Homo-oligomer: A and B are copies of this chain.
């Protein structure tokens, strides 16, 4: 098949690779009909994560089940499915506790930006989209369905981890696609004030469409001051850290009110947690890799009912074979998030 591969920092190609195959009897192979580029794909792209030369890349996709292993019971060939980036068996203690991202049989989509993807533990992982015939959902729905694979559940997880409640003042640190989905999550959960920290007008606009009530353009110390002023000196009831850098984490802890929780979903890079401040102010930290499968059925319902439209985070759509341009656009912040169509 043809798939996206990474060969070094900045070196993304669309090349011929071996087709994925059923290895375990619980596997499925999905023919990818749409996928996208994740902010976390930029870490290896920028050389900040180790790279295996020639490895396939991409972990967010939707598509049609092409083949299933002999022990797959609930998912059938021809089903149209959302593929969570993190695959899980659905039966281990961690899955049963709602932490599917720590499944003892955890798997990952590894060729999502390709023509086919292998899914381990198909029954535990995949969620069927009913009423889609012939493998072609309503084109208007496609972006939001792709968003269910990672970016929306990840933003949602930040809000859940931060304990967002109706009436809260919530601050979202990070205006990338995950941060914007965090805004959408907080707003959907009934937060009264949702503040997005963003200095980019197009992102501010989407945040506002997603329910942000306030925009703070300042960063660092000035940003923290602005939040303090906004909250009468008290601090935010919940903070969503959606970046993963030390600066973003520092801002999150600077603006969280005592007794609150910072929900974090950005893969931490060079983060040193301010444990003394956490102690003195009783500000907790919770979150991590999102258990996509936990949230997926409910979020799919919200998308199908038209209650939320997370697909708005995609501001550039490219043919799959132009994926390299998609990486460039996101790296240079010309695009928030890039949708890829075959």
Q: Which residues of A contact B (CB under 8 A)?
A: 93-94, 97-99, 101-102, 161, 232, 234, 257-259, 261, 264, 267-268, 271-273, 275-276, 278-289, 291
Whether the Cβ atoms of A102 and B267 lie closer than 8 Å is no
Known contacts A273-B275, A275-B271; decide if A284 and B282 are in contact (CB<8 Å): no
Closest chain B CB from A75 CB (angstroms): 25
Whether the Cβ atoms of A259 and B102 lie closer than 8 Å is yes
Known contacts A161-B284, A267-B279; decide if A259 and B289 are in contact (CB<8 Å): no
Note all chain B residues with C-beta closer than 8 A to A276: 268
Note all chain B residues with C-beta closer than 8 A to A93: 232, 234, 257
- Dominant secondary structure of chain A at its interface with chain B: mixed
Whether the Cβ atoms of B161 and A280 lie closer than 8 Å is no
Task: Give the contacting residue for A282; candidates B102, B267, B280; CB below 8 A.
Answer: B102
List 18 A-B pairs, Cβ < 8 Å: A97-B257, A97-B258, A98-B259, A99-B258, A101-B258, A161-B282, A261-B284, A261-B286, A271-B275, A272-B275, A273-B275, A279-B287, A280-B288, A282-B288, A282-B289, A284-B285, A285-B285, A286-B286
Task: Give the contacting residue for A257; candidates B94, B278, B281, B285; CB below 8 A.
Answer: B94
Note all chain B residues with C-beta closer than 8 A to A275: 268, 271-273
Stoichiometry (number of copies):
2
Closest chain B CB from A228 CB (angstroms): 12
Task: Give the contacting residue for A259; candidates B99, B282, B285; CB below 8 A.
Answer: B99
Closest chain B CB from A112 CB (angstroms): 20
Closest chain B CB from A5 CB (angstroms): 25
Looking at A259, A281, A287, A291, which has the most chain B CB atoms within 10 Å of its CB?
A259
Note all chain B residues with C-beta closer than 8 A to A98: 259
Residue of B nearest to A279 (CB): B288
Whether the Cβ atoms of A102 and B280 lie closer than 8 Å is yes
Looking at A98, A267, A288, which has the most chain B CB atoms within 10 Å of its CB?
A288
Closest chain B CB from A54 CB (angstroms): 26
A10 to B279, CA, bound (A): 26
Known contacts A257-B97, A258-B99, A259-B98; decide if A282 and B287 are in contact (CB<8 Å): yes
Whether the Cβ atoms of A279 and B264 lie closer than 8 Å is yes
Whether the Cβ atoms of A280 and B287 lie closer than 8 Å is no
Whether the Cβ atoms of A258 and B161 lie closer than 8 Å is no
Closest chain B CB from A250 CB (angstroms): 13
Closest chain B CB from A244 CB (angstroms): 9
A268 to B281, CA, bound (A): 13
Of all A-B residue pairs in the complex, the 6 with the closest CB atoms, nearest first, are A284-B286, A102-B258, A99-B259, A282-B288, A279-B288, A99-B258
Closest chain B CB from A166 CB (angstroms): 16
A218 to B268, CA, bound (A): 31
6 further A-B contacts with Cβ under 8 Å, apart from A101-B258, A279-B289, are: A161-B284, A272-B272, A273-B273, A282-B287, A282-B291, A285-B285
